[in-house]
Structure 1
Amino acid sequence: MFYLSVFFQYMAQYIKTKLQYRTDLLVEFFSDLMSQAVNLIFILVVFGHTDLLHGWTRDEMIFIYGFFLVPFALFGAFFNIWDFNERYIVRGELDRVLTRPVHSLFQIILERMELESLLGAVTGFIIMGYAGSRLDLDFHWYDVPIFLLFVIGGMFIYAGVFIALATISFWSDARSSIMPMMYNISNYGRYPIDIYNRVIRYILTWVLPFAFVGVYPSAYFLGKKEWYVYSFLTPVMGVAFFVLALLLWNAGIKRYRGAGN
C-alpha cells in the first residue's frame, strides 16, 4: 500500500506539471501520432505492391501493429530509462536516489514517467478496431482478460530487456550506450516473425523476445492456431525477463560505490 500511495502521488504531481505547459503536451501528442502514422504508411506501401506477405494479409499486419502499440505505450509511459547511464551514473544522480527508503528502480521509474505515451495505446485500439472489423474477427468475454494478460506480459518483456541493458552501467560507466540500437531491433517484433530467416526468428523469440510483444499474442486473436502455444507464453516470458532484470539490478546496486569527484 505504501508503494501504491507513492505511485499515485508521483502521478498526480506529474499531471500537474504537464498541465502547466499544455502547448508542449499537444506537440508531444502530435509527434507521437506522426511517428505511428509513418509506420502504418510503411505497411500500406508494402501491401500496395503485393496482396500477401508470407501468407499474411494487409489487415492482419495492421492488426499486429495495432496490438504492438498497446504494450509499447505502457512501456514508454512507465519504464522510460533510456538515459539511465547518462543521468544517474555519469551525473551521479543515483546517489540521491539511494538515500531514500524506497527501492531505487521504483524511484527511477516514477521520476522518468511519461504518461503522454499512453496516447499510443489509444491509437493501437483504434487500429485494431479497424483491422478487426475488416477481418470479421469474433471476440468473446474471456478475450478481455487474455488481452490484458498479453499486454502486461509484452510490457514486462520490454521492461525486462531495457532494465537489463541499463544495469550494464553499474559495471561500465562509459557514455556510449546500446539503447538506441536495441530500440531499432525491438521494432522487428511488430511484424510477423516468419518473414525473417531462422536465426533472426530464434533471436526475436528466445534471446530478445520482442516477437512476444506483437506478433505472437496477436496470433491468438487472428486465429493462428499453430502459434497458440507461443501466444500463451507471452506472460511467462514477461515475468521471467522482468525478474531476471530485477536480479541484475539488485546485483548492480550492491556493486555501486557512488559517483566520483
Structure 2
Amino acid sequence: MFYTSMFVQYISQYMKTRLQYRTDVVVELLSDLLFQAVNLIFILVVFGHTQLLNGWSRDEIIFIYGFFLVPFALFSAFFNIWDFNERYIVKGEMDRILTRPIHSLFQVILERMELESLFGAFTGLAVMLYAGSRLALDFHWYDVIIFVAFVFGGALVYAGIFVAIASIGFWSDARTSIMPTMYNIGNYGRYPVDIYNQIIRYILTWILPFAFVGVYPAAYFLGKTKWYGYAFLTPVMGIVFFVMSLILWNIGVKKYRGAGN
C-alpha cells in the first residue's frame, strides 16, 4: 500500500507539472507520431520493391511493428533511464536517492517517467487493427488476456535489459554509455528474426531477447504456429530478465560508494 500510494502521488505531481506546459506535451506527442510514421514509411518503401520478406507479407510486418509499439510505449513511459549514468552517478544524484526510505530503482523510475509516451500504445493498437483487418485475422475473447500478458512480458524484457545496463554505472562513472547502441539493437525486434542470420537470431532470442518484444508475441496473433512456443515464453522471459536486472541493481547499490568530490 505504501508503494501504491507513492506511485499515485508521483503521477499526480507529474500530471500537474506537465499540464502547466500543454504546448510542450502536444509537440512531444506530434514528434512521436511523426517518428512512428517515418518507420511505417520505411516498411512501405521496402515492400515497394518486393512482395514478401522471407515469407512475411507487408501487412504482417506492419502488424508486428504495431504490436512492438505497445510494450515499447510502456517501457518508455516508466523506464526512461537512458541518462542514468551521467545524471545519477556522475552528478551524484544517487546520493540523494539513497537517503530516502524507499527502493532506489522505484524512485528513479518515478522521477524519470514520461507518461506522454503511453500515447505510442494507442498508435500501436491502431496500426494493429489496420493490419489485422487487411489480414482478416480472427480474435477470441481470451486473446485479450494473452495480449495483456504478452505486452507486459515484452515491456519487462526491455526494462530488464536497460536496468541491467544502467546498473553497470555503479562500477563505472564514465559519462559515455552503451545505452544508445542498445536502443538501436532493440529496433531489430520489430522485424521477423528469421530474416537475420543464425547468430543474430540467437542473440535476439536468448542474450538480448528483443525478439520477445515484437515478432514472437505478434506471431501468435498472426497464426504462425511454429513460433507459438516462443510467443508463450514472452511473460517468462520478461519476468526472468527483470528479476535478474533487479538483483544486479541491488548488488550495484551495495557497491556504490558515493559521488565523491
- Runs of 4+ in structure 1 off by over 3 angstroms are none
Q: Which amino acid aligns with 1:111?
A: E
Q: Unmatched 5+ residue regions in structure 1?
A: none
Query: What is the CA-CA distance between 1:259 and the residue it aligns to?
Result: 1.1
Over the matched positions of the two proteins, sequence identity in percent amounts to 76
Question: Corresponding residue for 2:183?
Answer: 183
Question: Corresponding residue for 1:35?
Answer: 35
Measured in 2, the distance between the counterparts of 1:177 and 1:259 equals: 17
TM superposition score normalised by structure 1: 1.00
TM superposition score normalised by structure 2: 1.00
Alignment of 1:12-161 (within 5 A): 12-161=12-161
2:129 is paired with a residue of what secondary structure?
Answer: helix
Measured in 2, the distance between the counterparts of 1:20 and 1:175 equals: 32
Q: Unmatched 5+ residue regions in structure 2?
A: none
Q: Which amino acid aligns with 1:6?
A: M
Question: Corresponding residue for 1:220?
Answer: 220
Question: Corresponding residue for 2:210?
Answer: 210
Query: What is the CA-CA distance between 1:80 and the residue it aligns to?
Result: 0.6
1:20 is paired with a residue of what secondary structure?
Answer: helix
Root mean square deviation of aligned Cα: 0.4
Q: Which amino acid aligns with 2:125?
A: F
1:172 is paired with a residue of what secondary structure?
Answer: coil
Measured in 2, the distance between the counterparts of 1:189 and 1:168 equals: 23
Measured in 1, the distance between the counterparts of 2:144 and 2:43 equals: 27
1:103-141: CA deviation from partner (whole Å, max 9, x where unpaired): 000000000010000010010000000000000000000
2:85 is paired with a residue of what secondary structure?
Answer: helix
Query: What is the CA-CA distance between 1:34 and the residue it aligns to?
Result: 0.7
